[in-house]
């Protein structure tokens, strides 16, 4: 007898429909699974046989053929155990075919007949609702909280195959009560914990407001890591759709548990510098999302940037531009979303003290050049904000004073993001970093365009860097509540390009900075770190010789 039940599988983070067909005929006892099934799927034969036997259901000696359609797409994982078992029971006449007509089955079976959790349930649930199908999703009870995130979807969560069979024989699948999800809490870090570093905190606010990539350069102890870890605290909360996107990726990666499902805080991923290329951008023999996808809609922090393998860093170039990772295999092409904000931190030289006001660097010019050459120009070009830090004097660390909290900064960021969502409502982007730089050029005032053109020519900036400066300037203007990009906004945006520390444009930028709405102390701090660090270090190195 032939039987078919509905199931689903996940390719990347998107689900697709799978029909499980089982045919039982007379002949020598044999069990075959076809349909481009991986070894983990073919092992279902043993799990299903043992689970049914231990649940009191004896299988007759038959020739069994199981097909997973569509047969031209590779199938992996253990989620087909439950649909295969149900289809087999229908084919043997133990369960009526009408009882499974409106159900979609998903789950792994233990040898004792228990139904165990699987990955990607949220993607399957979203697929069912987007298709408008009025089906009931039969899934493991441990995945119930995850599936409950999709509203108006009927759910059934048996604990064992024996319980499910009893429901099917009676003709009624028991509906599960939807679970109230427990949310992941933030770690409590606050930007108000950071003493000093006004220019760096200003750069953090700009990065949060416009979704810009950020690089901190400074000696050990300057606060690079502390600053980077405060960025999520000033980012706006995820929208409902963004929360579902992030949670679906974490579900595919197996990072969810039965009690914590919906992710409402923006992800913060900080992989160690020993991470492989596949671990960073995704891939592997069985493709899985990498750190860039797990940081989707959040922050990817790369501490000690130059200690990462160069080939791993170069693999970031396309995700930073496209907002997604495409992994091509012989049998399929998998896409993972990767729309994240990159925050990186690095030392200025191998010893870490080049430009430090308290210690003399012992590195030669060749050592410094060799060290910095680990980071390629194309990757540096994709980082919008470059900030050079110096260590805060110890006497200032214990100073008492009122510092802006993350809540205060986040309110400004949220107002700025609201402006950008309105501006790009018809373009499918949410912040300035994702917008077209060419389109933003129309918002430049005449004097601002002249300053930008002169600086781009004198610094020999690429077209990408030119557009990224415009995007940063647009964010600065949004923070100030200005409709047009003014000279002061472009001047501040140019501050964050690494080439601006040269004396070639220092006078032009200083005059533009005088008209900026930015606090003078912040601008002075930025000028000191960007323009004065290298001359000071050269003087120290000369004195040492």
Q: What confidence score (pLDDT) does residue 397 get?
A: 73
CA distance 84 to 96: 15
Q: What confidence score (pLDDT) does residue 187 get?
A: 60
Strands (E), 179-244: 214-217
Q: What confidence score (pLDDT) does residue 458 get?
A: 86
Q: What confidence score (pLDDT) does residue 499 get?
A: 59
299 Cβ contact partners less than 8 Å away, ≥ 6 residues apart:
228, 231, 232, 235, 266, 267, 268, 269, 340, 341, 343
DSSP string, 92-151: TTSS-GGGGTTEEE--EE-TTSBEE--S-HHHHHHHHHHTT---EEE--GGGHHHHTTST
Q: What tens digit of pLDDT does each residue of 73-129 get?
A: 989 999 999 999 999 999 999 999 999 999 999 999 999 999 999 999 999 999 998
Beta pairing partners, 328: 333
Q: What is the CATH number of domain 191-544?
A: 3.40.50.300
Residue with tokens 């974490």: 250
Strands (E), 198-279: 214-217, 268-269
Q: Which token pair is 133? A: 């199908």
The residues spanned by each domain of the chain are 2-170, 191-544
Q: What confidence score (pLDDT) does residue 307 get?
A: 94
Q: What is the CATH number of domain 2-170?
A: 3.30.230.10
Q: Which token pair is 16? A: 């697709």
CA distance 337 to 376: 24
499 secondary structure, DSSP code: G
Low-confidence ranges of the chain (pLDDT < 70): 133, 180-188, 258-261, 398-402, 499-545
Q: What confidence score (pLDDT) does residue 516 get?
A: 44
- Give the chain's mean pLDDT: 87
Q: What confidence score (pLDDT) does residue 5 get?
A: 97
Question: Which three-class secondary structure state does DSSP give residue 14?
Answer: strand
């Amino acid at each position: 007898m032939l039987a078919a039940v509905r199931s689903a599988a996940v390719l990347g983070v998107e689900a697709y429909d799978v029909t499980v067909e089982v045919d039982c005929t007379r002949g020598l006892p044999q069990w075959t699974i076809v349909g481009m099934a991986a070894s983990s799927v073919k092992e279902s034969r043993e799990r299903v046989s043992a689970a049914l036997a231990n649940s009191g259901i004896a299988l007759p000696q038959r020739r069994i053929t199981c097909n997973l359609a569509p047969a031209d797409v590779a199938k992996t994982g253990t989620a087909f155990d439950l649909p295969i078992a149900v289809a087999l029971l229908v084919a043997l006449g133990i369960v009526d075919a009408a009882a499974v007509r409106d159900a979609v089955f998903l789950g792994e079976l233990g040898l004792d007949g228990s139904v165990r959790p699987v990955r990607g349930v949220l993607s399957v649930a979203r697929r069912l609702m987007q298709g408008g199908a009025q089906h009931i999703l039969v899934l493991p009870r441990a995945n119930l909280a995850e599936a409950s995130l999709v509203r108006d979807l009927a759910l059934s969560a048996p604990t064992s195959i024996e319980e499910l069979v009893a429901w099917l024989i009676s003709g009624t699948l028991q509906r599960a009560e939807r679970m109230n999800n427990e949310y992941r809490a933030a770690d409590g870090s606050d930007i108000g914990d950071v003493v000093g570093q006004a220019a760096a905190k200003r750069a953090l606010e700009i990065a949060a407001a416009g979704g810009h990539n950020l690089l901190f350069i400074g000696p050990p102890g300057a606060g690079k890591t502390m600053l980077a870890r405060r960025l999520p605290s000033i980012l706006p909360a995820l929208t409902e759709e963004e929360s579902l996107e992030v949670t679906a990726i974490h579900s595919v990666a197996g990072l969810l548990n039965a009690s914590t499902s919906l992710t409402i805080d923006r992800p913060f991923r900080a992989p160690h510098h020993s991470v492989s290329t596949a671990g960073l951008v995704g891939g592997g023999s069985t493709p899985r999302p990498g750190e860039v996808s797990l940081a989707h809609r959040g922050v990817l922090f790369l501490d000690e940037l130059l200690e990462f393998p160069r080939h791993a860093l170069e693999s970031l170039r396309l995700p930073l531009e496209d907002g997604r990772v495409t992994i091509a295999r012989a049998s399929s092409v998998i896409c993972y979303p990767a729309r994240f904000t990159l925050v990186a931190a690095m030392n200025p030289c191998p010893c870490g003290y080049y430009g430090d006001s308290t210690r003399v660097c012992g590195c030669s010019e060749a050592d410094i050049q060799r060290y910095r050459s680990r980071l390629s120009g194309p990757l540096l070009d994709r980082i919008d904000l470059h900030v050079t830090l110096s260590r805060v004097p110890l006497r200032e660390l214990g100073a008492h004073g009122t510092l802006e909290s993350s809540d205060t900064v986040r309110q400004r960021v949220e107002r700025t993001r609201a402006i950008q969502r309105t501006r790009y409502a018809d373009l499918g982007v949410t912040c300035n970093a994702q917008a077209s730089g060419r389109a933003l050029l129309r918002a430049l005032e005449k004097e601002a365009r002249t300053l930008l053109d002169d600086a781009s020519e004198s610094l020999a900036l690429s077209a990408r860097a030119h557009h990224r400066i415009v995007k940063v300037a647009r964010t600065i203007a949004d923070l100030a509540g200005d409709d047009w990009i003014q000279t002061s906004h472009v001047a501040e945006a140019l501050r964050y390009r690494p080439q601006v520390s040269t004396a070639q444009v220092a006078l032009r930028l200083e005059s533009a900075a005088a008209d900026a709405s930015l606090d003078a102390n912040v601008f002075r701090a930025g000028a000191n770190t960007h323009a004065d660090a290298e001359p000071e270090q050269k003087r120290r190195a000369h004195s040492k010789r």
